[in-house]
Structure 1
């Protein structure tokens, strides 16, 4: 599961909002799919740039994650490296593209856990649920210093 970072939580929420408000969505397009839309938010590249980078190697986001090489200078690997630096793990890319991370799905009522990976509304719901999960994890890690009461003598 991703490292809960403020940047990633914000990007998930912003991507969901963008999709809700009509951002281009096309599951078969590497720059306009689930991962592609999140990548747009995290990298500030447009969907066509992301798609061009991905097409320099074969496969969908699942295969791109499998073939990722951190020392490669291929544009898609540099892009994936930015996503990883924001807190994502390679497995998150695979789960996001299929909307199938168990921890995220458990946040939905039992009858609503069967999300369709290529349906805009399901992608929006998944990203919002994932952002909520990561925010809860982030807040659990925050420890405020104990307050000391000074006694006056």
Structure 2
């Protein structure tokens, strides 16, 4: 599971909002699919730049993630590297493309867990719920000093 950071949580929510508001979404396009839309937020590249770099190799996001090399300096590996630097793991990218991370899906009611990986509304719901999960994990790590809880009555 991704490393919960305020920046990643914000990027997930921005991506969900952008897709919900009608940003280009096409599951078969490497720059405007599930991972592609998040990559736009994390790298500040356009969908066309991401897609162009992806076409220098073969395969979809899952295949390119499987072939990822952190030292290759191939443009698409650099994109993946930036996403990993933001707190994501290779597994997170695979799950995002298929909307199938069990920890995220368990948060949905049973009847709503069967998300379609190429349906805009399902992508938005998954991104928002993933952001909520990461935010909860981040908040669990925050320890406030005990003296903040000591209320003195005058």
Give TM-score, length-normalised by structure 1.
Answer: 0.95
Equivalent position of 1:98 in the other structure = 98
Pairs aligned (count): 150
Counting only pairs closer than 5 Å after superposition, residues 106-125 of structure 1 correspond to structure 2 as 106-125=106-125
Secondary structure of residue in 2 paired with 1:147: helix
What 5-or-longer segments of structure 1 have no aligned partner? none
Q: How many Å separate the matches in 1 of 2:141 and 2:55? A: 39
**Tell me, which stretches of 5 or more residues in structure 2 are unaligned?**
none
CA distance in 2, matches of 1:144, 1:59: 47
2:30 is the counterpart of 1:30? yes
Where in structure 2 are the equivalents of 1:25-64 lying within 5 Å? 25-64=25-64
Residue number in structure 1 paired with 2:68:
68
Cα distance in 1 for residues equivalent to 2:55 and 2:143? 44
